[in-house]
Structure 1
Amino acid sequence: MEAQPQTVHLSDGCAIRAKLLGDEPGKPLMIAHHGAPGLSTHLEAEAAYGDFADKFRVLVFDMRGCGDSDKQRPYTHAQWTHDIDELRQWAGAEKCVMIGASHGGFLTLEYALTYQQHLYGIIVGDSAAQVSHWGAINMTKAALTDPRVKPDPEQLVRMLSGNCRDQDDLMTGFATIAPLYAAPDAIKDLAEIDAGAVISKSIKPFYETVNAAMNDCASRYDVRDRLHEIKVPAFVFVGRHDWITPVPCSEFIAEKIPTSKLVIYQTSGHFAALEQKTPFQRDVREFIKTLGIPEFKA
């Protein structure tokens, strides 16, 4: 039977829309975080990681300020990370595996640094340890020089710096750069699915959340000097053609986390877990076998 959405009321009264995939007794918990606060929802995480429900109870959800969850502030990494731990408790698990890509990768790293005692391991994809490590300037340059797109320069800067004027400003701006998230056309034919089509189904935009994530949160996000504190095993992955968090960002994460493994998917863009789903699933499942999860059955 297909999992049904549930409403989880957090301690501050915020209502979070969540689903437990593969919710069967005895399975360990995997928390799967979507990316792009204010643009994405649990549907992205479900598409990318839902197949792990054969071995896990996979918790997917719309983060605070996204999708069908409450638009209750604050929109900060500290609050979003605390929300994740309340969801873990709601799911009734002392420990879990956490997986997230892009901004979901930021929060996976933040969760590991704050709640490491509740983790078997983490899986971090197409992400970075500091936003200015790649930064709005580099993203703007990449978008303005790629022949696949022709964004309005001023609108692009507003969006990437967290200064969208309204919903229309956000969505028209995002539409102009959406092709950049997939691998280039010459390579994209090798991908198993069109990741962009999957992601577009999950978009339920809120420009205030995007602005907070791209401005206030991004300006404060920097875990470079703390990555060595993460002692649980880490699987780090990235698409070779990721334009927004390019390969060196993931290489840095893998270098600084002492227990990490890095995999680069050669024909992927920013959605490696979707664009090369078969090798991604294979590699992650092999990684999970090494975590020593008591409830896990290979």
Structure 2
Amino acid sequence: MASDLQDVRMSDGCNIKAKILGHGPDKPLLLTVHGAPGLSTHRETEAWCGPFADIFRVLVFDLRGCGESDKQRPYTHARWIQDVDELRQWAKADKFVMIGGSNGGFLTLDYALAYQQHLYGIIVSDTAAQQGHWGLMNMLKTALTNNRIKPDPDQVLRMFSGRCIDQMDLLTGFGSIAALYESPPEVKEHAEVDVGSVLSGATVPFYEAANAAMGDCLSRYDVRDRLKEIKVPAFVGVGRYDWVTPVSCGEELEAGLPTSKLVIYERSGHFPGLEEKTKFQKDVREFVKTMDVPGLKWVKA
């Protein structure tokens, strides 16, 4: 099956695969950033951000080292957010709204700190102002002690420390803990979208990018002291049962961002945009109404 993504050539020659949903000459741009470099692809963000194409031009893409994009280094936050800004230019948008979940939220916050002049506002879901060694160790502890799963401890340790040995090591390691990204079984029955089915369709393993993201980038990521510099409106969503970036991470973001709104999704894990899709869509649309974004007079309630 032929891909519907386009090649967008970056300034260093790397080809990024991208597409825009909801074309329209007067629509503002919503640029989405998927999570989990080396695992996730644009299919993840298309699943939970695609519905906004009625009011935005929604740009989805594969980060370098992910999906169908070139596997060209470097795999760093600085290069990934530079790619975002070059995609903004490709989409011919001086200003836009940026949305990212999980690791995509880390990159959204980093982008806001580097290129705030190009933002109307940001939307982050299940993300944090820092991850670092302590955050990664807490994730590892949860993965190894949760009775919902029975992973190989050595394999999970390799994944969280950025030491996967090949594609299969990464894929099977992630597969062994994937159930934790959903709400627990007694809550999951109410989910509007099955997270597992979306993740399986959006997972394209590339262990070198995953190793860089987990082993280097996240251990250095900490923007807590700089949140006050982000002056644009910020929407922060978090699932009540999120084990990766729990509710406390969302509360820390709300406290640190000058103009922010926190929404806790009581029946969701790490993907409220899927598990509580209707509420998430409504909440984000209501929040977008508070931004000064030209062309959004037709926003739905």
Quickly name the TM-score band, shorter chain normalised: over 0.9
Would the aligned equivalents of 1:134 and 1:249 in 2 still touch at CA under 8 Å? Answer: no
The residue aligned with 1:48 is 48
Is the counterpart of residue 132 in structure 1 residue 132 in structure 2?
Answer: yes
* Equivalent AA in structure 2 for residue 59 of structure 1: L
Alignment partners' CA distance in 2, 1:74 and 1:286? 38
Letter of the 1:26 counterpart: D
**How big is the shift at 1:207?**
0.3
SS in 2 for 1:169: helix
2:262 pairs with 1:252: no
SS at match of 2:25: coil
Q: Partner of 1:115 in structure 2?
A: 115
Structure 1 residue matching 2:109: 3-state secondary structure? helix
Match of 1:286 in 2: 286
Find the aligned partners of 2:244 and 2:294 in 1 and give their Cα distance: 37
Match of 1:97 in 2: 97
State the distance in 2 between where 1:33 and 1:269 align.
Answer: 19
Does residue 72 (structure 1) correspond to residue 69 (structure 2)? The answer is no
RMSD after superposition: 1.1
What is the CA-CA distance between 1:141 and the residue it aligns to? 1.1
Task: Tell me by how many angstroms 1:134 deviates.
Answer: 5.3
1:181-200 aligned within 5 A? 181-200=181-200
- 1:165 matches 2:159: no
Structure 1 position 250, deviation (Å): 1.1
Deviation at 1:163, TM superposition (A): 0.7
Count of residues in Structure 1 that have an aligned counterpart in Structure 2: 296
Secondary structure of 1:222 counterpart: coil
Distance 1:124 1:254 in 2: 11
| TM-score, with length taken from structure 1 | 0.98
- Residue 211 of structure 1 is matched in structure 2 by 211
Give runs of ≥4 in structure 1 deviating > 2 Å: none
One-letter amino acid matched to 1:235: F
What is the alpha-carbon distance in structure 2 between the residues aligned to residue 131 and residue 66 of structure 1?
21
Instruction: Return the TM-score normalized by structure 2.
Output: 0.97
Distance in structure 2 (CA, Å) of the matches to 1:152 and 1:75: 27
Aligned to 1:233: 233
The answer to whether the 8 A contact 1:34-1:40 is kept is yes
Q: Which amino acid aligns with 2:198?
A: V
The match for 2:265 is: 265
The separation in 2 between residues aligned to 1:153 and 1:40, in whole angstroms, is 22
Amino acid at match of 1:249: C
How far the C-alpha of 1:102 sits from its partner, in A, is 0.2
Find the counterpart in structure 2 of residue 61 from structure 1: 61
**Structure 1 residue ranges without an equivalent (≥5):** none
How far residue 133 of structure 1 moved from its aligned partner, in angstroms, is 7.3
**CA separation in 2, counterparts of 1:238 and 1:134?**
20
Displacement after TM superposition at 1:234 (Å):
0.2
Compute the displacement of 1:111 (Å): 0.5
Q: Summarize deviations over 1:68-114 as a string: whole Å, max 9, x none.
A: 00000000000000000000000000000000000000000000001
User: Partners in 2 of 1:217 and 1:132 — Cα distance?
Assistant: 9
For the residues of structure 2 that align with 1:21 and 1:134, how far apart are their CA atoms?
38
- Corresponding residue for 1:31? 31
Report the Cα distance in structure 1 between the residues aligned to 2:194 and 2:244, rounded to whole angstroms.
18
Q: Once the 2 structures are TM-superposed, how far is the Cα of residue 140 of structure 1 from its aligned partner?
A: 1.3
| Residues in 2 aligned to 1:81 and 1:218: alpha-carbon distance in whole angstroms | 15
Aligned-partner SS, 2:191 = coil
Cα contact 2:133–2:219 (8 A) shared by 1: no
